[in-house]
């Protein structure tokens, strides 16, 4: 019988519904993660207020509150500050990259992305998060599932 372990939760934030559906499909197919979705920066913040999230995949270019502003809000809250954020982006604007780096972005996934690239980057970010977790059992649980 498999050991009962807590699934890591990934929040995918993108205003493009097709991109949300594709990322969700890939991660559901190739990982054992709990997937949440939001279609705006405001919905992302609302979800973070209600759920414990281990990783955020965040689109940069969204109407209203863009990904950079959303990440600024995430970094201002003590209880969210250490959530890794990976930007999903079609842009490679130098100013955006610099600002994201100053906010502590965990990485970038360029759109359109390859399924194996998405899965590998998500798993790597979650592994690094586990290494920073003072509860080493989280890391051991993740290593056991590999």
pLDDT digits (tens, 9 = 90+) for 30-70: 999 999 999 999 999 999 999 999 999 999 999 999 999 99
The predicted model scores a pTM of: 0.86
H or E element: which one contains 47? helix 41-50
Give 108's strand partners: 87
Strands laid side by side in the 55-59 sheet: 34-38, 9-13, 55-59, 85-89, 107-110
What pLDDT, on a 0 to 100 scale, did the predictor assign at position 144?
53
What's the half-sphere exposure (Cβ side, CA atoms, 13 Å) at 53? 29
Neighbour count for residue 72 (Cβ, 10 Å) = 15
Place of tokens 């990934």: 10
Q: Which architecture characterizes domain 9-144 according to CATH?
A: 3-Layer(aba) Sandwich (3.40)
What pLDDT, on a 0 to 100 scale, did the predictor assign at position 46?
98
Q: Quote the CA–CA distance of 115 and 27 in Å, as a whole number.
A: 8
* DSSP string for residues in 76-99: HSTTTTTS-EEEEES---HHHHHH
pLDDT surpasses 80 at 2: no
Token couple for 22: 């594709």
pLDDT surpasses 80 at 141: no
Token couple for 44: 């992302």
What pLDDT, on a 0 to 100 scale, did the predictor assign at position 4?
41
Q: Torsions phi, psi of 133, nearest 5?
A: -75, 130
**Mean pLDDT computed over every residue of the chain:** 88
Question: What are the sequence ranges of the domains in the chain?
Answer: 9-144
Q: Torsions phi, psi of 126, nearest 5?
A: -70, -35
Q: Tell me which of 78 and 96 has the higher pLDDT.
A: 78
pLDDT surpasses 70 at 125: yes
């Amino acid at each position: 019988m498999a050991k009962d372990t807590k699934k890591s939760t990934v929040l995918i934030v993108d205003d493009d519904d097709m991109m949300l559906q594709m990322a969700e499909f890939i991660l559901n197919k190739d990982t054992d993660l709990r997937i949440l979705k939001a279609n705006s920066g405001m919905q992302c913040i609302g979800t973070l207020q209600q759920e414990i999230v281990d990783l955020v995949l965040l689109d940069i270019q969204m109407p209203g509150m863009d990904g950079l502003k959303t990440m600024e809000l995430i970094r201002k809250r003590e209880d969210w500050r250490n959530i890794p954020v990976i930007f999903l982006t079609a842009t490679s604007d130098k100013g955006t990259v610099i600002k994201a780096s100053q906010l502590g972005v965990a990485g970038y996934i360029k759109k359109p992305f390859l399924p194996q690239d998405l899965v590998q980057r998500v798993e790597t970010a979650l592994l690094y998060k586990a290494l920073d977790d003072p509860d080493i059992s989280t890391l051991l649980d993740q290593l056991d599932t590999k």
